[in-house]
Structure 1
Amino acid sequence: MPLQMKLTAITLDCADPETLAAFYQQATGLELHPASDGDFAGLTRGDGLFIGFQRVDDYRAPRWPDQSVPQQVHLDFEVDDLDEAEALLLELGATKPEQQPGADRWRVFIDPAGHPFCLTRS
C-alpha cells in the first residue's frame, strides 16, 4: 500500500519574500499568514494549503525557457477567463515571455522573482 501523503505547503526561494507574497496574494486572494516577517512570508488557503516565500542570499532568478538557471519549481493556476487573468497579472508585475508552448491551452508567465507559472482554463 502506498504511503498516503497530503501536500500542505509549497515554498519558493526569492530575494524579497514580502513583495512576492503580495504579488501572489493580489493574484489569488489567499490570506497573508500572520507569522510573515522580513525573511519569510506566507499565504494560506481555506483548506490548509500554505504557499511560503523565503529569503535566500544571492538568489538567482530562473531563466525560462533558457536553462542556464533552471526553473526549480513551476506552479499552475486555473482561471475562468485567460484574457482577464492575463491583464490582471501583467498589471500586478508579472511578465509574459514570448515563448508560449501551450498555444491556446495555457499561458506561461514569470512572477516578479523570476519563477515561471502557468494559467489554464477552468
Structure 2
Amino acid sequence: MSEHPRILQTVIDATDVRRTAEFYRELFGLEYRAGDEPREGEEDVEWLVLRGREGGHGLAFQHADELKRTTWPDPEVPMQIHLDTSVPDAEALERQRQRAEALGATVILDRTDDPEEPLYVFADPEGHPFCIFVG
C-alpha cells in the first residue's frame, strides 16, 4: 500500500461537456468510462470521465455555466492549469498539430524553431491551453 495518493484524473471545466470530452477523446485516444458514452437524445451533460486505454491518466469534464478564456501570454486571465504532452520527433509534432487543429484546437504559440524544445501551445475548443512538444 502506497503512503501517497495516486492521481486518477485531471478535471477540466467546460461549458459544453460532451464537445470538450470528444475533443480530448479523439486527440489522446481515450475511452469513456462505462455509462458515459454518448446517448441519442442526450441533454446537457454535467460530468463525464475518459480513461486511458491501458490504465493511464484520465480526464474528467464538469459543467461550468461560464468560462473566461485565457489571455495567455498576457497575464490578465492566466492559464491556471494546462496539459503538457510529448511526441518523439518534429515529424510527429507536425502530424499532431494538424490533428489538433482538425479537431478544433487553435495554435496560440508556435515555438517549433526552438532547437532544444520545439513545441506548440494550443487552446482547445473551450479555450483551455495545452502543449505538445518534442521530448
**TM-score (ref. length: structure 2):** 0.78
Root-mean-square deviation over aligned CA pairs: 2.1
Contact 2:109 2:120 survives alignment (8 Å):
no
Find the partner of 1:73 among 65, 81, 100: 81
* Partner in structure 2 of residue 97 of structure 1: 108
Distance of aligned partners of 1:98 and 1:29 in 2 relative to their CA distance in 1, 3 Å threshold: closer
Distance of aligned partners of 1:102 and 1:57 in 2 relative to their CA distance in 1, 3 Å threshold: farther
Distance of aligned partners of 1:56 and 1:24 in 2 relative to their CA distance in 1, 3 Å threshold: same
Deviation at 1:49, TM superposition (A): 2.5
Find the partner of 1:61 among 60, 65, 69: 69
- Looking at structure 2, the residues matched to 20 and 9 of structure 1 have their Cα atoms a distance apart, in angstroms, of 15
| Higher CA-based Rg | 2
Deviation at 1:32, TM superposition (A): 1.5
Determine if the alignment matches structure 1 residue 51 to structure 2 residue 59: yes
* Partner in structure 1 of residue 120 of structure 2: 107
Deviation at 1:65, TM superposition (A): 1.6
**TM-score (ref. length: structure 1):** 0.85
Deviation at 1:4, TM superposition (A): 2.1
Paired residues, what number? 120
Deviation at 1:77, TM superposition (A): 1.1
Deviation at 1:76, TM superposition (A): 0.9
Contact 1:32 1:42 survives alignment (8 Å):
yes
Contact 1:107 1:119 survives alignment (8 Å):
yes
* Partner in structure 2 of residue 38 of structure 1: 45
Contact 2:109 2:121 survives alignment (8 Å):
no
Identical positions, percent: 32
Could you tell me which runs of 5 or more consecutive residues in structure 2 were left unpaired when the two chains were aligned: 37-43
Contact 1:65 1:99 survives alignment (8 Å):
no
- Looking at structure 2, the residues matched to 98 and 13 of structure 1 have their Cα atoms a distance apart, in angstroms, of 22
Distance of aligned partners of 1:71 and 1:35 in 2 relative to their CA distance in 1, 3 Å threshold: farther
